[in-house]
Amino acid sequence: MNLSHIKAVLFDLDGTLVDSKLDFHQLRQQLGFPTGEPILEFIDQIESETERVAANQMVFDFEMKAAKTASLMPGALELISTLHKDGYPTAILTRNIRQASQMMLTNLSLPIDLMLTREDCSPKPSPEGLYILANKLKLDVSELVYVGDYKFDLEAARNANMLACLFDRDGDSEFKHQADIVINNFEQLLDMLRTDA
């Protein structure tokens, strides 16, 4: 696909640019949540404030522990460096907490221009964060592409009328049908951005 009209590239963080090996199945078990339930949304429905606070603390500890050992996805640093060299602003929209997200960017020396976390806007699949980033970049959503590895990323992009790019590192994602573009490595994305015809 030709992405020569794209003027900035937005990313999910974990599972896309970095790998913190977050095991959400394990976290759901620790929390006592049903399999497949979105964790943040399920916590919001807990009526007891004490239980809700305890669940949020467990998620916070889980994310911070994972952030300390996170590693870059292959080619992620080269991708961001090349995008900046080619004049593309970059931004992150993540469901993670700011403290853990910033720790990963700092520890891994990943130079991102803008970042929104779940403290800044409604979590994906809400398009709110993507609209905020488009506004901050002074660009129309049609001039942006959002790259992520999970259904919430693709749904958020769709909800914002933005191109949805699935990063399918292993080539076996069940979410391919929801994406406008599927890439297995970041070089493919760069090739699309540089294609004029």
Q: pLDDT at position 197, please?
A: 39
Q: What CATH fold (topology level) applies to the domain 8-20+70-194?
A: Rossmann fold (3.40.50)
Q: What percent of the chain has pLDDT over 70?
A: 99
DSSP string, the chain: ---TT--EEEE-SBTTTEE----HHHHHHHHTPPTT--HHHHHHT---HHHHHHHHHHHHHHHHHHHHT-EEPTTHHHHHHHHHHTT--EEEE-SS-HHHHHHHHHHTT---SEEE-TTTSPPTTSSHHHHHHHHHHT--GGGEEEEESSHHHHHHHHHTT-EEEEE-TTS--TTGGG-SEEESSHHHHHHHHH---
Q: Which residue has the higher pLDDT, 133 or 4?
A: 133
Label residue 196 by pLDDT band (50, 70, 90): low
The boundaries of every CATH 3.40.50.1000 domain in the chain are 8-20+70-194
* pLDDT (average), residues 54-76: 94
pLDDT in tens, 122-140: 999 999 999 999 999 999 9
pLDDT tens digits, one per residue of 8-49: 999 999 999 999 887 778 888 888 888 877 888 889 888 999
Average pLDDT, the chain: 94
pTM of the entire predicted model: 0.92
